[in-house]
């Protein structure tokens, strides 16, 4: 979409110098000074945000780090807890039928999600107690108004501030890929914090191993949800990039869907397993595992249908033209697979 122009510029047929009239570029010392200040403020603000996120992240990771130093075997539990989420993110990455995504952008998105996840932890801790104190509806409000929107928001932010700006983000489906990676990063640090907290409360000895096994299993089940939710929001972010006129509503729609699904999971996961055990002759553990897997399968199918439709359309376009649609790239960017 071409930029809007002032009537003077549109009507000019003599290529006049319209600097200061209807066009502008840094020319004078004042112009360059103003540009430098703006650039400094812009990058300075981003740097401050990243530094604050890094400080909070390091503070939250102190406990997991100390526990691993005391018992290196706990690192295995941290790693195993993210395996299902990593496999799912890898599957979504493989569904990208257009081009390979640069490893640097994938790693950067993962790390940014780890850093920004700490903002969600702060907000949840700040608003959780007061909202949950409200009788009957407090916990529901907390999950739908705080946890869902904030956690999905910071994951999408991890995509928006880095990968989204790259020329290699050149297809709608790329949004789902980077969203999935952001979900993986969020799940990784959340799992580490939960496992460390549970193990620390359990104490030393056999109880530590038992506690680590139990919480790592639970977190392994929860991780794929983060990947699915943020991949959905990411897909809409991809749509937004290629539909600038409706970019805002598309981003909001993606966040609303992801946040609602996220909140629904948090609300129902504490209720559904007990209902299942009251109806079926199975234990709570099996009921919990079954419900989480079923929930993820249903929501995952919603995401899969979107990706599958994109893939079918892409292949159809290629069949019609004889060659796949090629995004604009430079010679230094990864080739199509």
Q: Is a pLDDT exceeding 50 seen at residue 136?
A: yes
Over residues 251-273, mean pLDDT: 96
Structural domain includes residue 32: no
**Do residues 221 and 83 touch, judged by C-beta distance below 8 A?**
no
Count of residues making up the chain: 337
Residue with structure tokens 């910071």? 154
Q: How far apart are CA 115 and CA 197, in angstroms?
A: 19
Cβ neighbors of 27 (< 8 A, separation 6 or more) are 19
What average pLDDT score do residues 124-142 get?
93
In a domain, residue 298? The reply is yes
What is the mean predicted confidence (pLDDT) over 239-267?
Answer: 96
When the pLDDT of each residue in the chain is averaged and rounded to a whole number, the result is 88
Q: What residues are paired with 336 via a beta bridge?
A: 99
Determine the average pLDDT of the residues in 4-33.
Answer: 79
How many angstroms separate the Cα of 276 from the Cα of each of 139, 215, 246, 290, 291? 21, 21, 43, 9, 9
What's the rounded mean pLDDT across residues 174-198? Answer: 95
Supply the DSSP symbol for 147.
I
What is the pLDDT, as a whole number, of residue 321? Answer: 62
What average pLDDT does range 110-135 have in this prediction?
93
- Per-residue pLDDT band for 337 (boundaries 50, 70, 90) equals very low
* Residues 211, 84: Cα–Cα separation, whole Å: 20
Question: Is the separation of the CB atoms in 145 and 219 below 8 Å?
Answer: no
Q: What is the pLDDT of residue 205?
A: 53
Greater confidence, 10 or 258? 258
pLDDT at residue 336 greater than cutoff 50: no
Residue 330: its pLDDT value, please?
A: 39
CA distance 225 to 296: 6
3-class DSSP string for 263-292: HHHHHHCCCHHHHHHHHCCCCHHHHHHHHH
- Structural domains of the chain, count: 1
334 domain-assigned: no
B/e letters for 256-295, b = 16+ CB within 10 Å, e = fewer, are: ebbbebbbebbbebeebbeebbeeeeeeeeebbbebbeeb
* Phi, psi (degrees; rounded to nearest 5) at 99: -140, 160
Contacts 24+ apart (CB under 8 A), 134-142: 139/267, 140/267
pLDDT of 1 over the 60 cut: no
Rounded CA gap, 312 and 192, in Å? 38
> Which pLDDT score, from 0 to 100, does residue 120 have?
94
Q: Is the pLDDT of residue 328 over 60?
A: no
In a domain, 333, yes or no: no
User: In this prediction, what percent of the chain has a pLDDT beyond 90?
Assistant: 63
- For residue 196, pLDDT over 70 is answered with yes
Query: Comparing 119 with 11, which gets the higher pLDDT?
Result: 119
Q: How confident is the model at residue 101 (pLDDT cuts 50, 70, 90)?
A: very high
3-state SS assignment for residue 39:
helix
Identify the pLDDT of residue 240.
96
Residue 48 inside a domain? The answer is no
Q: Which pLDDT score is estimated for 333?
A: 40
Mean pLDDT of 47-64: 88
Estimate to the nearest angstrom the gap between the alpha carbon of 45 and the chain centroid.
21
How many Å is the Cα radius of gyration of the chain?
24
Is 41 domain-assigned?
A: no
- Give 202-234 pLDDT, tens digit per residue: 765 556 778 888 899 999 999 999 999 999 999
Tell me the pTM.
Answer: 0.84
| Token duo for residue 251 | 């981003």
- Mean pLDDT calculated for residue range 133-160: 95
Question: Residue 150 falls within a domain, yes or no?
Answer: yes
CB within 8 Å of 245: residues ≥ 6 apart: 1
Provide the pLDDT confidence category of residue 304 given band limits of 50, 70 and 90: very high
**Rounded average pLDDT over 251-274:** 96
| Domain membership of residue 311 as a residue range | 61-321
Rounded (5°) CA angle 330-334-337: 125
pLDDT, greater one: 38 or 220: 220
pLDDT in tens, 269-281: 999 999 999 999 9
Residue 320 banded pLDDT, cuts 50, 70, 90: low
Residue 201 lies in a domain: yes
Kind plus residue range of the DSSP H or E element containing 166: none
Q: What is the pLDDT of residue 211?
A: 84
Half-sphere exposure of 214 (CA within 13 A, CB side): 12
């Amino acid at each position: 979409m071409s930029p809007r122009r002032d009537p003077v510029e549109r009507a000019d047929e003599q290529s006049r110098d319209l600097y200061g009239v209807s066009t502008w570029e840094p020319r004078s010392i004042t112009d360059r000074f103003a540009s430098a200040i703006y650039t400094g403020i812009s990058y300075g603000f981003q740097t401050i945000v990243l530094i604050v996120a890094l400080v909070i992240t390091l503070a939250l990771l102190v406990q997991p780090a100390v526990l691993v130093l005391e018992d290196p075997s706990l690192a295995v539990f941290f790693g195993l807890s993210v395996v299902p989420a990593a496999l799912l993110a890898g599957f979504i990455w493989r569904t990208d039928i257009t081009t390979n995504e640069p490893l640097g952008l994938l790693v950067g998105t993962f790390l940014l999600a780890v850093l920004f996840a700490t903002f969600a932890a702060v907000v949840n801790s700040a608003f959780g107690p007061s909202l949950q104190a409200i009788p009957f509806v407090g916990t529901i409000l907390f999950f739908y108004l705080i946890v869902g929107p904030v956690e999905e928001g910071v994951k999408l932010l991890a995509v928006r501030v880095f990968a989204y700006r790259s020329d290699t983000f050149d297809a709608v489906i790329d949004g789902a890929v980077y969203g999935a990676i952001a979900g993986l990063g969020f799940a990784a640090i959340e799992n580490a914090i939960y496992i460390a907290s549970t193990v620390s409360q359990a104490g030393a000895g056999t109880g530590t191993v038992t506690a680590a096994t139990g919480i790592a299993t639970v977190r392994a089940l929860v991780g794929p949800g983060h990947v699915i939710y943020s991949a959905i929001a990411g897909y809409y972010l991809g749509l937004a990039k290629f539909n600038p006129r409706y970019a805002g509503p598309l981003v909001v729609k993606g966040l609303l869907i992801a946040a609602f699904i996220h909140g629904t999971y948090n609300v129902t996961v504490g209720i559904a397993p007990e209902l299942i055990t009251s109806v079926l002759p199975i234990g709570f553990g099996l009921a919990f595992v079954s419900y989480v897997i079923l929930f993820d399968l249903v929501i995952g199918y919603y995401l899969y249908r979107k990706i599958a439709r994109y893939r079918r359309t892409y292949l159809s376009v290629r069949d019609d033209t004889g060659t796949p649609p090629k995004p604009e790239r430079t010679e230094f960017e990864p080739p199509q697979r």
